Structure formats: C-alpha cells, structure tokens
Amino acid sequence: MIFRQLFDAVSGTYTYLLASRRGGEALIIDPVQEKVDRYIQLVNELELRLVKAVDTHLHADHITGLGALRDRTQCVTVMGEQSKVDVVSMRLAEGDKLTIEGMALDVLYTPGHTDDSYCFAMADRVFTGDTLLIRGTGRTDFQNGDPRAQFDSIFNKLLRLPDETLVFPAHDYKGETVSTIGEERSFNPRLRVKSVDEYVALMNGLNLPNPKMMDVAVPANMRVGLAQEEIARRGWAIGADEAVMLIGRADAVLIDLREPRERAKHGVIPGSLHAPYPELAANVRSGGMLNELARATGKRIVFYCAFGERSAMAVQAAQEAGLASARHIQGGMDAWSKAGGPVSR
Ligand SMILES: [Fe+2]
C-alpha cells in the first residue's frame, strides 16, 4: 500500500494520499487548496492516477482542495449525504464503501463536530476527520455541531474499533501525527468523562474563538460544484424534465456513469447503459465503446450520474473527442427523480 500523510502548516491540516500500488488508482482525503500543486506533483512522481478526492466534513479553517483537484485531474469529489456543499460528484452514507482499485474503506457517519462529519476505516487504521483528534476532539460549537451526537459517534462507533487501530486525524496543532484507538481511550482527556452529560458540559464550556479563516472558508467550501451553468451555456445540457422525453427514443442512448453501488442504491433510468466514469477516457476516444456506438448508430449520447458533476466532465471529454451531439442531464439522477422521471431498481 502507498500511504502519505501530508501537512498544511497554516491550518494544521493533515491530508492523506492512499493507493494500493504504484501505478494504480489513488484517493486523497481532506486536501487543502493551497497544497494542490504539491499533491499533483506527488501523484505524478508515484505514477498514480487520482480518481477520488474526499472531505471528511465541511471545513471551516481552510479552503478545500476538492474543486481544484477535480478541475485539474477530473477526479470524482466525494462527501457525505448530509453535506450542504452545493454539488459534489458522489455522496456517501453510513455503511457505504469508499472504493478505489484494490481498496475499500468503511464509511462511518460520525456527526458531532459538524452534522456532515464522516470517518473512513480500513483494516488497520481509521481517518477520523475532526471527530476524534489526538488527545482531543473536534469542537462542537458551530456548523450544527452537537456534543451529544459526538459522544455517541466516538464512544459507540470509533472506540468500538480494535484497540490497535491507528488513528489519523484531520488536524493536529502540537506536532502529533498518529495515535491508536486504545491510546485515545486511555489517555484522551476529553474521553475521561463519566457520562454523556459530563461530555456535553465539557464541550459547551470550551469558549473557543472562531477559526481565522471561517468567514472565507465556509462560503468557499459551500461552492465546490463544477460550473454546470457553463456546460449548459455551451448547449451541452438537457434539463431533467426534457430528458424524460428521451426514454424510448431511437435516436438517443442514456449512459449511466455511476458506480455499481450507487446504481443499486438509487436505481437507474430504464433502458440506460452503464459505462462507469473511471473508464470514460477509454470509452470516448476514437475506437472506444461510446465513440463507436455514437458513430455507428448516429445516436446521441446522453450522460448522467448522481448530481450532474461527473456527466458534465464526461460531456466535455466527449465533445473534445469529436462527439458533437453528446449531452448530459443537468443535476443528474437527483434532478431526474425530482422531475418525476421513472427509476428502475
Ligand atoms: Fe473541522
């Protein structure tokens, strides 16, 4: 396994780069915008292909690197389903898996620091975001924080992991880099409370100043979405209402870019084909499956995904590959369902 812990000294943020092998797919957790050049350099040096960028929660202390990484690598951006961020490409929920080639992380919904906080667990380690820090816990006094929920997330989810599980948090301000679940259970002063009420009183009494970057970071991080408006302005988008009319039409083919897990959970548009986003480049280039399909049949390719982000990137790639009739469904399956489009499971 390839594992790198990267640090942003300005915000005290840890960012993690993961891959199962050199030359394979990579995942990045909690990237910082100012460090994006460094991440991309490292990804190239290790001959990796960045396919997913994930935030554990909506950050208040730095601007996320999700948008910049997506724009530069066409990776999929991922957050939890509770997140108020305008558009991320893929949303996860408790019990889902966060997967790349050769790796599958368990998705744990751990509200408390914020109501969109998630942790990601592997066999030997857990990425705890700001839910559990080394000898500390993330503050709960803004962004719908809730000390009672955090107590539950920590005691009933994280501390149930094996004692030797390595803890990799999203922040540290004292130079600590890693801990274990057993160590935190024994020595984390915030966890040495006798009841949830004692924890709530402790957290409510912290009286911390707001993060310096908060007024900048929170609004910026709410707008991670790709400018789907720009794709629409070029005439490459079809509204969900209009797309419903395409069902059963002989001159169009709907292409689902999502992962099998998303399709199983949220259903598919009847009659659509599956061509997963990671294989997009191979599929749209000359000789590729979708390129051949469009040229041989004259059918219009209409991409869709969960929220219209991956499909917006796909329609751009298809146009660049010469498929001038390619379109995408703006807002994806989310908009499709809201428009009353049929869904088969
Ligand atoms: Fe945070």
Instruction: Quick: pLDDT tens for 278-295.
Output: 999 999 999 999 999 999
DSSP H/E element including 228: helix 228-233
Average confidence (pLDDT) over 48-74: 95
Tell me phi and psi for residue 26, to 5 degrees.
-125, 155
Q: Is the pLDDT of residue 325 over 80?
A: yes
Q: Model confidence over 119-140: pLDDT tens digits?
A: 999 999 999 999 999 999 999 9
Query: How far is ligand 1, taken at its centre, from the CA of residue 327, in Å?
Result: 37
Query: How far is ligand 1, taken at its centre, from the CA of residue 65, in Å?
Result: 14
Query: How far is ligand 1, taken at its centre, from the CA of residue 138, in Å?
Result: 7
Query: How far is ligand 1, taken at its centre, from the CA of residue 219, in Å?
Result: 14
**Over pLDDT 90: what percentage of the chain?**
89
Average confidence (pLDDT) over 88-96: 94
DSSP state of 117: -
Q: Model confidence over 7-32: pLDDT tens digits?
A: 999 999 999 999 999 999 999 999 99
Q: Is the pLDDT of residue 118 over 90?
A: yes
Query: How far is ligand 1, taken at its centre, from the CA of residue 62, in Å?
Result: 9
Query: How far is ligand 1, taken at its centre, from the CA of residue 150, in Å?
Result: 13
Query: How far is ligand 1, taken at its centre, from the CA of residue 127, in Å?
Result: 13
Two structure tokens written together for 148: 């009672």
Q: Which pLDDT score is estimated for 110?
A: 98
Query: How far is ligand 1, taken at its centre, from the CA of residue 294, in Å?
Result: 46
**Over pLDDT 70: what percentage of the chain?**
100
pLDDT band at 87 (very low <50, low <70, confident <90, very high): confident
Q: Is the dihedral of CA 196, 197, 202, 203 positive or negative?
A: positive
Q: Which pLDDT score is estimated for 213?
A: 84
pLDDT band at 86 (very low <50, low <70, confident <90, very high): confident
Query: How far is ligand 1, taken at its centre, from the CA of residue 61, in Å?
Result: 7
Q: Is the pLDDT of residue 212 over 90?
A: no
Q: Which pLDDT score is estimated for 228?
A: 84
Query: How far is ligand 1, taken at its centre, from the CA of residue 207, in Å?
Result: 16
Strand ranges in the chain using DSSP code E only, listed in sequence order: 2-8, 13-19, 25-29, 49-54, 76-80, 90-92, 97-100, 103-109, 118-121, 125-129, 132-133, 136-137, 166-169, 179-180, 237-238, 252-256, 273-274, 300-304, 327-329
Query: How far is ligand 1, taken at its centre, from the CA of residue 287, in Å?
Result: 46
Helix (H, G, I), strand (E, B) or coil at 342: coil
pLDDT band at 81 (very low <50, low <70, confident <90, very high): very high
pTM: 0.92
- 71 vs 110: which has the higher pLDDT: 110
Q: Which pLDDT score is estimated for 227?
A: 74
pLDDT band at 226 (very low <50, low <70, confident <90, very high): confident
Average confidence (pLDDT) over 177-189: 97
Query: How far is ligand 1, taken at its centre, from the CA of residue 117, in Å?
Result: 8
Q: Which pLDDT score is estimated for 163?
A: 98
Q: What is the mean pLDDT of the chain?
A: 95
Query: How far is ligand 1, taken at its centre, from the CA of residue 55, in Å?
Result: 10
- Nearest-5° Cα angle at 55, 84 to 34: 110
pLDDT band at 37 (very low <50, low <70, confident <90, very high): very high
Q: Is the pLDDT of residue 99 over 90?
A: yes
Query: How far is ligand 1, taken at its centre, from the CA of residue 248, in Å?
Result: 47
Query: How far is ligand 1, taken at its centre, from the CA of residue 118, in Å?
Result: 11
